[in-house]
Structure formats: C-alpha cells, structure tokens
Amino acid sequence: MRMWTIRIFFIFLSLILIGIVKESLWTKPGFKLDEQARAKLTKITGRIKLRFVSNRIWNYKIVIGEFSLQEIEEYRLGSMDETRPYIKFAKEVPEGLPIIQGFGYYSPYRLSPDKSLMFLSLSSEKQEYYPKYFVIIQMQNKKALYQRKTKTHIEDMAWSPDSNMFVVLEESSRRSFSITGILRILIAHPNYVSTYYLSIYDRNGTLLVHTKVASGLVDGSGQISWREQ
C-alpha cells in the first residue's frame, strides 16, 4: 500500500514538472499576424498602433499589412493611457443612452471622429464585468443601430480617422502554471497569461478582419489607436 502511495506521489510530481516545463515554453511573448489577415490589412488605410504591457512594454504598428515593432520599453507604473473613456460604474455611463435589455454598459467606449456614432462595450446580466458584446449608437437620435458579440473579452477599441471603420482589441486569458503561477494559485492570487486579437469592422458592423496579434503575456494589458499615415 505504501509503495503505491509513493508511486502515485512521484507520478503526480512528474506531471507537475512536465506542466511547468511546457508552461515555460508556452508563455514566451509572441507577436504575429495571421497570414490571411495580413493580406486583408493591405487594403486598410492609416496606421494602427498597439501597445502591450507585461513585464516589459512592446509598441507595434500596422501599416498596409506590415506588422512591425517600434520600440521596447522597460516596465513602469502608469505605462497605459488612463484618460481613455471607460465605464466601470453606472454613474459613468454617458447621459441619454438607450437601455439595452439584458445588458449593461461596461468597459471602453468611443465617439467616432465625425461624432455621428458611438461604440459602447456591453456585459450581459448573466456574465457581469466581462464585456463580450458591443453596440453602436446613432448620436443624432440616441438609438441603437446594431449589436454584435465578439469572440473574447473587449480590451480596447479605436475608430478609423474617417469614421468608416473601427477596430476592437480583444483578450482571452488562462491561469499561469509556471512555478510562480502555481505558488500564486495557492495563495488565491493567480497570474493570468493573455492572448490578444484584433478585429476590424466597417461602420455597418460587418467584420472585415480578425487575427491574433500577441500571445504569452503574463498579467498583460493592451491598448490600440488608429491614426492617419
């Protein structure tokens, strides 16, 4: 009986070590566009800038389908733009917006450059504080034009300079099972490993491009902007 207990213990320990080794290989930061998306992005004008923060800060841009690194910075507090419009509480919702049945306004929102449309992230009442939906509001009459569901959590968004398109930065995450990650799980403060996706829609809500842009970012965060060349 004791021999079986020892064997089970060593099997369990071996599985943990294998998991840690795999985790160390999987959680290296990676930045890349899907090839199919790259071809579609050659038709998108302007400059899309992405900023990813983990243990370091990576600044990338997309211009005519080319995804290029601009700068790597050392991590520091306050490295993200905190002035961007973001709803955390009901009192922060802009006035006059329609009630979206079964949903609440939560997370990033932006007015289009021509001030005709507003993008607002939504979380469902069944899954609060997890924005996987968005709605486009016509500002002239404050009516909802359409609503869409994203593939993962909405992290940030930006309108194109001509207001004809918008880009959504999405994030998915899982718990880290590195040595540090396991220790943090044991104290109920787990690390999360993030993967980021970029989705571009036209102003009518048609999805034009969807691609993974970054992966392996421990406790990561991201922001996106869209400017003229």
pLDDT at 229 over 50: yes
221 within domain boundaries = yes
User: Within a domain: residue 178?
Assistant: yes
State the DSSP code for 99: P
Q: Is residue 194 part of a domain?
A: yes
Kindly give the pairing relationship between strand 47-53 and strand 56-63.
antiparallel
Range of the domain at 170: 29-227
pLDDT, tens digit (0-9, with 9 covering 90-100), for 190-221: 677 899 999 999 999 999 999 999 999 988 89
Q: What Rg value do the Cα atoms of the chain yield, rounded?
A: 21
Which stretch of DSSP H or E encloses residue 25? Answer: helix 2-26
Q: Is the pLDDT of residue 120 over 50?
A: yes
pLDDT of amino acid 80? 85
Do the strands 66-74 and 47-53 form a parallel or antiparallel pair, or are they unpaired? unpaired
Q: Taking the model in full, what pTM does it have? A: 0.85
Report yes or no on 146 lying in a domain: yes
Number of folded domains that form the chain: 1
> Does residue 74 have a pLDDT over 60?
yes
**Is pLDDT larger for residue 25 or for residue 37?**
37
- Residue 200 inside a domain? The answer is yes
Residue 128 lies in a domain: yes
- Residue-level length of the chain: 229
Instruction: Please name which of 229, 197, 226, 214 lies closest in space to residue 58, comparing C-alpha atoms.
Output: 214
Q: Could you tell me if residue 195 is inside a domain?
A: yes
- Return all residues near 49 (Cβ < 8 A) that are at least 6 apart: 59, 60, 61, 70, 224, 225, 226, 227
d(CA 226, CA 213): 15
Gap between the Cα atoms of 150 and 130, Å rounded? 11
Answer for the pair 175, 191: CB distance below 8 angstroms, yes or no.
yes
Residue 178 pLDDT > 80: no
E strands in the chain: 30-31, 47-53, 56-63, 66-74, 86-87, 103-111, 117-124, 133-138, 143-149, 153-159, 165-175, 192-202, 207-218, 221-227
Least-confidence region, from 37-41, 125-129, 179-183: 179-183
Instruction: Find tokens 């009459």 and name the residue.
Output: 141
Kindly state whether residue 8 falls inside one of the protein's structural domains.
no
**Cα 31 from Cα 74, distance rounded (Å):** 17
